[in-house]
Amino acid sequence: MRIFINLTLSICLTWVSCVWVAQIWSQEDVAPVATGDAAVYGADGAAVVPLTDEIQYGLMLFTQGGGLTLRRGFYQNASKIRWWGSDLLLFKHPKEEKITNPVYEDGRAYVFGKVNSMYLFRVWRGGQKLHSEKLRKDAVRVSSLWRYGMTLGLLKPVYMEIGYPDIPYDYIATERYDPSIHFSSNIFGQSQWMYGLDELSVVPGFHVSYALDFEYGTERHVQRTLTAGVAVDAFLFDPEIFASSFEQNSRTFVTLFATFELGSNWTR
């Protein structure tokens, strides 16, 4: 548990540090005045005070899992935004298939051969190019978004409820899953999620993605955004999700993703 607490604190400090660095860098990035093509226009076509800051948070779903996303943006001009952000995602191996104990129906479902659950923690930097302002055309802001940064694969060991002796069981023990000694006949079910938190291991890697961003809030400073794109996460070595005797693990994952976010923008 101490390792889990320390890792949680490290993640929080990493995010705070990124936001602090982004805030400093943004002081030189934001132009105080914009006119002509660089200005932001209102519904009546008149130039208004240019935006400087934006924040969005929400849910991310991708072809191998889902989780939370948060990003902080700084306007370079009326059509360009620089972003800092982070994602915390549950990652599912494409070969995962849950089964249950054939005799004891009250046991929790589990994935046979899966020795670790993996979570992705991303810290990234990115850019956004606005192609149409929502107050100009059809109340939708259309833009392209690209991101790059660090990915940490957080591996949490899987624990099982093991029955002894063979069916019918006399008692059940909680043990770290080992496919070489634990079989479908003596696995009662998967243990609670908290088991293994004090044994987390980290696999470093990097992340890149590209997406189309559709912001359709009805007010200028209130944001509702749908984003869809493709992402690549690559690690320095193969994260062990399945035991090697069951499935081949990979160090590179290409996924499709979509996000729904809420947020706001403002002028400093």
- CB-side exposure of 15: number of CA atoms within 13 Å? 15
Q: CA dist 39 to 33, 55, 56, 96, Å?
A: 8, 20, 22, 50
What is this structure's pTM?
0.82
Q: What value does the mean pLDDT take over residues 20-29? A: 47
Secondary structure (DSSP) of 12-73: HHHHHHHHHHHHHHHHHH--S---GGGSEE-TTS-EEPPP-EEEEEEEEEETTEEEEEEEEE
The torsion angle over the Cα atoms of residues 96, 101, 105 and 107, rounded to 10 degrees, is -70
In this prediction, residue 170 carries a pLDDT of 95
Answer yes or no: is pLDDT of 23 > 70. Answer: no
Closest CA to 263 of 211, 238, 227, 209: 227
pLDDT tens readout for residues 134-168: 765 457 889 999 999 999 999 999 999 999 998 89
Average pLDDT, stretch 224-231? 98
Using CB atoms within 10 A of its CB, is residue 232 exposed (0-12), middle (13-18) or buried (19+)? Answer: middle
CB of 91 within 8 A of CB of 120? yes
Grade residue 30 by pLDDT with cuts at 50, 70 and 90.
very low
Instruction: Kindly tell me if the per-residue pLDDT of 32 is higher than 60.
Output: no
Q: What is the pLDDT of residues 66-108, one digit of tens each?
A: 999 999 999 998 889 999 999 999 999 989 999 999 899 899 9
What is each CA distance from 182 to 156, 174, 188, in whole angstroms?
18, 12, 10
pLDDT digits (tens, 9 = 90+) for 198-217: 999 999 999 999 999 999 87
The pLDDT score that the predictor gives to residue 213 is 97
Cβ neighbour number for residue 45 with a 10 Å cutoff: 8
Neighbours of 261 (CB within 10 A): 20
DSSP string, 105-162: TTSPPEETTB-EEEEEEEEEEEEEEEEE-TTTTTT-EEEEEEEEEEEEEEEEE-EEEE
As a whole number, the mean pLDDT across the chain is 86
How high is the pLDDT of residue 218?
A: 74
Question: Residue 155's closest CA among 7, 258, 257, 6?
Answer: 7
d(CA 94, CA 151): 19
Q: How far is CA 230 from CA 51, 63, 92, 208, 236, in A?
A: 28, 10, 17, 9, 21
Kindly state the tokens that stand for 12: 């929080």
pLDDT of residue 15: 52
Pull the structure tokens for residue 68.
């939370």
Give all domains of the chain, ordered by start, each with its CATH number: 2-266 (2.40.160.20)
Percentage, residues of the chain above pLDDT 70: 80
Nearest Cα to 204, choosing from 259, 149, 257, 248?
Answer: 149
